[in-house]
Structure 1
């Protein structure tokens, strides 16, 4: 194998690792968002956990975050608007990445 091949392989491995970490961080963010929204709706315990799982699953409907925003905004109604939810998602993504890095 040449040096070029080694570098190419290293970049491919890094890309795959970064994509996996992003996926995990986004899923964790969505779970945290679900728990936050559940608390706003007065859900606790198993009900809150079940709702958080629903939020995580809602992210698989389409690319991007709008499917999650739409779900949570619809469930929260007047409690929080879409912009508030997007802001909370940005905050929670930082928290989720930190949690994942601390696990490794």
Structure 2
């Protein structure tokens, strides 16, 4: 029975680790998107960092990434289309995943 318990524990640990890595990659993606949007809005330095943090926090509103997209679309107005924002998000998601998994 110990082997099965050990296996179960290993699967639970791997699931928790994978979930944590996905959460970190998602947060990193949204921060990168927020920094890009901040630049479009003419923000830099601490102001850009604060804005990027607000984009990360926006993701905690509801499951999925639509809350982030809505925020950035609303904030950027005519400075970037929803399609462009989604493309940037896909690009930053790939970069974030690569960074997070390289760090792990």
In 2: Cα distance, 1:69 partner to 1:2 partner: 47
In 1: Cα distance, 2:88 partner to 2:65 partner: 12
Query: Which secondary structure state, in structure 1, belongs to the residue aligned with residue 87 of structure 2?
Result: helix
Matched, 1:62 2:34: no
Q: When the two structures are superposed, what TM-score results if normalisation uses the length of structure 2?
A: 0.93
Partner of 2:92: 92
CA-based RMSD: 1.1
Partner of 1:74: 74
Q: When the two structures are superposed, what TM-score results if normalisation uses the length of structure 1?
A: 0.93
Unmatched 5+ stretches in structure 2: none
Q: How many residues align?
A: 104
Matched, 1:51 2:51: yes
Partner of 2:24: 24
In 1: Cα distance, 2:93 partner to 2:27 partner: 9
Unmatched 5+ stretches in structure 1: none
Following superposition, the deviation at residue 102 of structure 1 comes to: 2.6
Partner of 1:40: 40
In 2: Cα distance, 1:20 partner to 1:71 partner: 24
In 1: Cα distance, 2:85 partner to 2:46 partner: 22
